[in-house]
Homo-oligomer: A and B are copies of this chain.
Amino acid sequence: MKIGFIGLGNMGSAMAANLLSAGHEVLAYNRSRDRVVALAERGATPVPTVAAACEGDVVFTMLADDTAVESVTFGDTGIVAALAPGAIHVSASTISVALSEKLTAAHAEAGQMFVSAPVFGRPEAAAAAKLFVVAAGPHDAVTSLQPAFEAIGQRTYVMSEEPKTANLVKLSGNFLIASVIESLGEAMALVSKAGVDRQTYLELLTSTLFAAPAYQTYGGLLARKQFEPAGFAAHLGLKDVRLVLAAGEQLEVPLPVASLIRDRFLTLLAGGGRDLDWSALGALADWEAGGPRPGSG
C-alpha cells in the first residue's frame, strides 16, 4: 500500500519504520524535519506538506493530542481537503470521543472513510511491532487495513463500525494503566516503609495474581523509581485522564478513581514533573508518606 504518515514522534517513527519493513511505500511528514530525514534513511519518501502525504490510499495520523490532529485535518491544506474520495484516514492518536465524532462526520461528508485505530504499547513495543491495535470503522475499510495493522502490531481488536468506540476503549485502557500505577504506588509506599524490598514485592505480585505486562512494566519503573526518559510523559497522561473524564461526563458515568488520578497528575505537574514518565504518578504516595517529591531533582 501507499501510505502517508503524519506525526513522527517516538511512537509514529517506529510505526512508520515497521510499515516500511513490511514493504509498504511511506510518504513521511512531520512538523520538525529531522525525524523525516531519519525515516528517509530507512526508505521513506519525505513530503513537504500534509497534502502531499495524502496522495496515497491511506493516511495515518499519530499525533500528541486533539489540537494537533485538528490542525492537520481541517482547513484548506488539511487532510479532508486533500484526500481522494474513497481513501482512508486512520487516526492512531489517542484523541477525544468528541473529536472522533467530528472526524467521522467530516470525512463522510467528503466521501472519504475514517477509521479510528488507537494503539496500546510504549515506544519499545512500537519499535518491535508488538503494539495492540484497537480498530473501529466501516467494515470494508478496516478489512483493507489489515496488512498495515499487521505490520505495526501483534494483534488487532475490532470493536464496532463506530470509530468513536475505539477511542473510548483506548482512553479507558489508559485509565486502567494509570490506576495500576496509582494503586501499585500506594502499595509499594506501604510495604517499603515497613521494610519489605520493592523488587521482591513486585516479583511476588507479577508471578501470581498480577502477572500482566501492565504490572511488570510500570511496577518495574516504580520499583526502580526510574522516571526518565519518559516513554509517555506525565502531561500526556493527564490529557488522557481528562478525556476519559469528559467521556464519562457526556455519558453520565462518575469515575472516582479517574478523578483521583487527575488530581494527582496535577500535583505531579505543579511540582515540576510535567516531562517525567507518567509512572512517576505512583511515586506521589512515597512523597506523601514523607519521601522526596518526584521531579524536584
A51 at the interface (CB under 8 A from B): no
Q: How far is the CB of A141 from chain B (nearest CB, A)?
A: 19
| A34 to B1 CA separation, bound complex (whole angstroms) | 63
Q: Considering only CB atoms and an 8 Å cut-off, how many residues of chain A contact the other chain?
A: 72
Is A254 in contact with B207, judged by CB distance below 8 angstroms?
no
On whether A175 and B196 interact (CB within 8 A), knowing A169-B204, A257-B257, A270-B288, the answer reads no
* Secondary structure type dominating chain A contacts: helix
Distance, CA A172 to CA B285, complexed state (A): 14
CB within 8 Å for A257 and B189 given contacts A165-B194, A270-B288? no
Q: B190, A244: Cβ atoms under 8 Å?
A: yes
Segment of A7-15, A35-43, A79-87, A212-220 in the binding face: A212-220
Residue in contact with A186 in the complex, picked from B165, B256, B290, CB distance below 8 Å: B256
In the complex, the answer to whether B257 meets A270 with C-beta atoms within 8 Å is no
In whole Å, how far is A101's beta carbon from the nearest beta carbon of chain B?
12
A258 at the interface (CB under 8 A from B): yes
Instruction: Tell whether A194 pairs with B168 under 8 Å between CB atoms, given A253-B266, A259-B260, A289-B253.
Output: yes
A contact set with B: CB distance below 8 Å: 120, 132, 134, 155, 157, 159-160, 162, 164-165, 168-169, 172-173, 175-177, 179-180, 182-184, 186-187, 189-191, 193-196, 200-201, 204-205, 207-215, 242, 244, 247-249, 251-260, 262-264, 266-267, 269-272, 285, 288-290
Give 8 new A-B contacts, CB below 8 A, not counting A134-B204, A190-B255, A194-B251: A169-B196, A176-B210, A190-B248, A252-B290, A254-B264, A254-B266, A255-B263, A272-B290
Closest 8 CB pairs of A and B: A212-B212, A179-B183, A254-B263, A259-B259, A252-B270, A270-B290, A254-B266, A253-B289
